[in-house]
């Protein structure tokens, strides 16, 4: 049984049908990448899984149970953590405090959470220097690392990552993707990417979304060379907003 199974998912924003019957499966322990051009419905798919967008029809099964229609808090408690596009951080808190916030769904002691947050800096050494500082300024890549570290603090069974490479320099993108390959041992990952090359480099399986529908799915080597992938890849280059 897949850890996550989405069947015929339809999501509307008013008149706009953002998802028109999306069906995907994510097996336990896999990294699965969802590719597609700007506006294809990638973020909406993640928002529906994490309870931020309400399905109009279809179903979302997690670990064999339907989670469609549950609220975001209930879904986090089931072990799904969403790192949205845009790397939101709280500038009034230290970097470590920002990371610790990710554990707010868990019933563990503050000292345990503090130890785990310290351990996150082994995974993200680039942000260790800012751990306890206030008034810090981080680069885009470092903010992305804070956001991913915060997502991991929830100890999710499923981590939803929305465009972790967006707006980052190639060397930072490589660092973020290295971390994704490291965490795959413990965490199943559904990754949204416009950069097909990067997204597929860490994936076990890929799906291509086009205007709210899955048009293609397969293993990365099956997807390479396909015209739909080329379109998604070019879509990534065409994107201008940050
Ligand atoms: N809050 C909203 N209200 C109305 N329409 C929305 C909203 N969010 C997304 N949409 C529309 O839904 C469709 C899918 O958007 P979505 O953000 O899921 O695409 P995406 O593939 O993640 O693209 P992007 O890379 O731009 O985030 C688009 O047509 C978009 O304009």
User: Considering only CA atoms, which of 51, 167, 153 is closest in space to residue 102?
Assistant: 153
18 Cα: distance to centroid of ligand 1 (angstroms): 7
Record the pTM: 0.89
Ligand 1 centroid to Cα of residue 108, in Å, is 36
Higher pLDDT, 67 or 122: 67
Collapse the DSSP code of 192 into the 3-class scheme (helix H, G, I; strand E, B; otherwise coil) and give the result: strand
The reply to whether ligand 1 has any atom less than 6 angstroms from the CB of 167 is no
Q: Nearest 5°: CA angle at 128, between 180 and 182? A: 15
Tens digit of each residue's pLDDT (9 = 90 or more) over 13-46: 999 999 999 999 999 999 999 998 889 999 999 9
Q: Is 205 helix (H, G, I), strand (E, B) or coil?
A: strand
pLDDT confidence tier of residue 137, bands split at 50, 70 and 90: confident
Stretch 161-180: mean pLDDT: 80
Atom of ligand 1 nearest to the CA of 44: 18
Is the beta carbon of 42 within 6 A of some atom in ligand 1? yes
**Which tokens in the block code for residue 92?**
């009034």
Distance CA 209, CA 28 (A): 21
**For 180-238, how does the pLDDT look when each residue is reduced to its tens digit (9 = 90+)?**
888 877 889 999 988 888 888 889 999 999 999 999 999 998 888 777 676 666 554 43
Q: How far apart are CA 78 and CA 72, in angstroms?
A: 10
pLDDT band at 104 (very low <50, low <70, confident <90, very high): confident
What residue spans of 28-70 are helical by DSSP H? Answer: 42-49
Q: Which of 203, 233, 177 is nearest to 32 (CA)?
A: 203
Q: Is 35 in the pocket of ligand 1 (CB under 6 A)?
A: no
CA of 39 to the centre of ligand 1 (A): 5
Ligand 1 centroid, distance to 115 Cα (angstroms): 38
Query: What is the dihedral sign for C-alpha 120, 125, 131, 134?
Result: negative
**What is the set of domains in the chain, with CATH numbers?**
4-89+158-238 (3.40.50.300)
Report the pLDDT value the prediction gives residue 60, as an integer from 0 to 100.
Answer: 98
* Count of positions (residues) in the chain: 242
């Amino acid at each position: 049984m897949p850890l996550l199974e989405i069947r015929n998912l339809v999501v509307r924003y008013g008149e706009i049908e953002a998802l028109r019957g999306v069906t995907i499966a994510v097996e336990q322990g896999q990294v699965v990448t969802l590719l597609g051009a700007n506006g294809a419905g990638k973020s909406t798919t993640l928002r529906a899984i994490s309870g931020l967008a309400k399905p109009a029809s279809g179903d979302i099964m997690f670990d064999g149970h339907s989670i469609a229609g549950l609220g975001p808090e209930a879904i986090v408690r089931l072990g799904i953590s969403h790192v949205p596009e845009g790397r939101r951080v709280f500038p009034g808190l230290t970097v470590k405090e920002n990371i610790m916030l990710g554990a707010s769904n868990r019933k563990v002691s503050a000292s345990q959470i503090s130890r785990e947050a310290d351990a996150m800096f082994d995974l993200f050494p680039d942000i260790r220097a800012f751990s306890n500082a206030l008034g810090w300024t981080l680069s885009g890549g470092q903010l992305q690392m804070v956001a991913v570290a915060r997502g991991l603090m929830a100890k999710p069974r499923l981590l939803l990552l929305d465009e972790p490479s967006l707006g980052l320099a190639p060397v930072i993108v490589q660092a973020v993707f290295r971390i994704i390959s490291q965490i795959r041992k413990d965490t199943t990952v559904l990754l949204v990417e416009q950069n097909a090359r990067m997204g597929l480099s860490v994936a076990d399986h890929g799906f291509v979304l086009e205007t709210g529908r899955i048009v293609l799915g397969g293993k990365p080597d099956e997807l390479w060379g396909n015209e739909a992938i080329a379109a998604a890849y070019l879509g990534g280059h065409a994107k201008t907003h940050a």
